[in-house]
Amino acid sequence: MASKRDYYDVLGIGRGASADDIRKAHRKLVRQYHPDANRDNPQAAERFREVQEAYDALSDTEKRKQYDEFGHAAFDPRSQQPQGAAADPFENLRRGGAGRNYRSWKASPNVTVEDFDTNAGGFADIFEQLFGRGGGTGAKRKSEPRQQQRGSDIEHSVTISFEQAARGCTMPLQLNREGQIETIDLKIPSGVKDGSRVRLRGKGQPGPSGQYGDLYITTRVVEHPYYHRQDLDIYIDLPVSMYEAILGAKIDVPTLDGKVTLTIPPGTSSGAKLRIKARGIRRGSEQGDQFVVVKVIVPKNVDDHDKRTLEQLAAKYPVQARQDVRWQQ
């Protein structure tokens, strides 16, 4: 544990930082160290992982309290905890070790989030309820009799990249309950959104009667340095020169599935949206598109001779740029 940096130092903030300060610091460092923006810097991936680990701990109120009191030992399963203290069930997630009592739940079409428990026939895609007509909220807990004395619920956030949210992924989660390690294969389907919340029934802490509480997982999607999402569509800005916009050009544009060559038609204006079909977010049978937003860049410091040339072009090819705006009517 001594080799780990202080989480506050990792994010470059003080211990009295607010939740908003933590989010701002995280957003800045994600842009700086995102692997897609640092393909030639292998150290950036490790720095990115370190930033994510620090944010995961400090953005969660309960985890932050534990960290402030116990430091990194709060998330070390080998550390002794005071009797009754709530253990972090995911401290082994980033350690990658194989725990005891390993059980792997695979996707089954007959098991839903509400059906999931220890004795279920399989581990369903626990996020399938995120994509109903309700707009992506997790299952609500059913009312239970007071006398059952359920165990405490566990809240945990899973941080994934923009690409993992868009295309889906599978990750192992290790639960540490009463000294026993359970590992589940958590399948995150394509199309999840930031802040989506889902319940895994019976995966929380045990109660006095032996009945377990629930586990609530919230997805945190890392902001991408140049993509942004609108529903199932992806948007990206494309700077083009004034000459490319006037004369037309062919430009290689990145997508989540690799580069494509995009044709810029002659006479394209700044703000024009060019569609690349079926390169957006996938969600079940739905498939979004990618939109490339053109940003025309004009030259600076044009000399007097070239200014006169441009004035002649403007007279020869007049453009009524504001004829359709409402405030001109």
Residue with tokens 């619920």: 153
pLDDT tens readout for residues 281-303: 998 889 999 999 999 999 999 99
pLDDT at 183: 84
pLDDT over 70 percentage in the chain:
76
**Which is it for strands 273-276 and 233-241: parallel, antiparallel or unpaired?**
unpaired
Q: To which CATH superfamily is domain 1-76 assigned?
A: DnaJ domain (1.10.287.110)
- Give me 312's structure tokens: 């002649």
pLDDT tens readout for residues 310-322: 999 999 999 988 8
Q: Where are the beta strands (DSSP E) in the chain?
A: 154-160, 169-177, 180-188, 197-200, 215-221, 228-230, 233-241, 249-253, 260-264, 273-276, 282-283, 286-287, 290-297
Domain boundaries, the chain: 1-76, 86-142+149-225, 239-300
**CATH match for 239-300 among 2.30.30.90, 2.60.260.20, 3.40.50.1820, 2.102.10.10:** 2.60.260.20
pLDDT at 79: 53
CA distances from 274 to 104, 249, 258, 308 (A): 44, 13, 17, 33
Domain 86-142+149-225 fold is HSP40/DNAj peptide-binding domain (2.60.260)
What global pTM score does this model have?
0.54
More confident residue, 249 or 88: 249
Residue 176 burial (CB count, 10 A): 17
pLDDT tens readout for residues 218-234: 899 999 999 999 999 99
